[in-house]
Amino acid sequence: MDDSLFGQIDFGSLDVYLKNDDVTDISYTNNGQLWIKTLSKGIYREENKDITNALMEKIAFQCSNSANPFLDAEGSEIRLNFVHDSVAKNGIACVIRKTPAKIRLQKEKILADNYITLDVHEFLMKAIQGHCNVIVCGETGSGKTEFVKYLASKIRENEKIITVEDTLELHLDKIYPTRDIVAMKTNNIASYSDVLVACMRQNPRWILLSEVRSAEAVTAVRNSISSGHNILSTIHSDKASSIPMRLYSLLESSQDIDQFVKSMHRYIQLGIHVKGFYSKKYERFQREITQVCEFYVDDEENMAKSNIIYQRDLAGNESYNNPTSHLIDYLASQGVVMREDPFIPKGEAISEVTKEDNTKEATPAIENAPQVTNTVETQTQQVVTSNPPQANVAAGVSANAQNNNELEIVEM
């Protein structure tokens, strides 16, 4: 559906929500229930007597040109889905998703909002400069796509980007109209596979795939990275370390699980988990990075392994591990030099927290995290609790040492 048609649609009392940049989703159900989702408050019910079945029927009629109980309509920055009351028996159901052509996340704001820590932010920026393949996971509405857009905004200007989506949400071609960016959209005629073949012929450096939710999309991810292109994509998963297995679960073939997971660990460098929840501490809807995981295949054992570089639980406790030599070497091959100890200085004496103390301080999310060992040598995990001074004493790290523990990365 083109924008000229959307410009002619009368949204009535819904217009105030569509023009509010804080609003991301509008849901209408059950003969008058209106639910709004915003960046600041999350999801809440809104009372508006002017928004009724009659208004929703009017909007649906303006969007459609044929009789059908299901209706999808898409413009440049808005997407609508209707279910007629012949199917939705308690009244018309409608969801409106806003996808503005802008980068909502800004460095200063996400640092101030505790969305991400400075050291993890700088690490991820260098990972993008070093052409790491990254998949961002999280629940619906956690902000996966927004974070992918933010990461994509850090790609070098001279590197060609092609976006492949079934519903247009990234809009990088409109955000950066002077850059070499091609936006491709799959449909009933052009499948993921068809579009990907055409995409390869366009000679991109980066391929940004929309959410991976089908076997065809998994195949597209695998074909993209195995052909030497770099990818950014999203997927539904409860933690970053589960991304390879989540990809496998979407496959409809009987491919060997060990072989597939190992290939994903070999080609995908990083997984990132984004969580959205209502925070009692901040008294607002909070989005934050809760896990950054490195994937690699151990050369000696030929086994797929994970290294949880960063993890944060809901209480604010954070833990770090240095990246393995696999990631350091990969970045070096891409012209980006990173210290071997960006998070935990090797020359610093860090006494291990006893298992008993760790059990007292850590939450179940930390306790149940996968055991991680680095390739060259086992790194001592540094745990930073929500009360940093006490955490540093427990780990044997002085406050000055922590302040000096900056990410020192230089480009070749």
Look up residue 365 and give its two tokens. Answer: 């999310």
- Say how far apart CA 187 and CA 171 lie, in whole Å: 17
Mode of pairing for the β-strands spanning 134-138 and 161-165: unpaired
pLDDT digits (tens, 9 = 90+) for 139-189: 988 889 999 999 999 999 999 999 998 888 888 999 998 889 989 988 888
- Say how far apart CA 63 and CA 70 lie, in whole Å: 12
| More confident of the two residues 330 and 392 | 330
C-alpha dist (Å) from residue 71 to 2, 79, 189, 379: 15, 11, 19, 54
The domains of the chain, with CATH numbers, are: 7-98 (3.30.450.370), 107-411 (3.40.50.300)
Q: Which long-range contacts (CB under 8 A, 24 or more apart) does 81-89 make?
A: 82/56, 84/60, 85/53, 88/29
Query: Tell me, what's the pLDDT at 101?
Result: 86
pLDDT digits (tens, 9 = 90+) for 221-274: 888 888 889 999 999 999 999 999 999 999 877 788 999 999 999 999 999 999
- The position carrying tokens 């090797």 is 346
Contacts of 256 (CB under 8 A, 6+ apart): none
- Say how far apart CA 161 and CA 121 lie, in whole Å: 22
Share of the chain above pLDDT 90, in %: 41
Asked if residue 102 has pLDDT above 90, the reply is no
What does the mean pLDDT of the chain come to? 81
Look up residue 39 and give its two tokens. Answer: 């960046």
Is residue 283 a contact partner of residue 260, using CB atoms and an 8 Å limit? no
Asked if residue 360 has pLDDT above 70, the reply is no
| More confident of the two residues 347 and 276 | 276
**H-helix or E-strand containing 318?**
strand 318-320
Residue 320's closest CA among 348, 298, 281, 279? 348
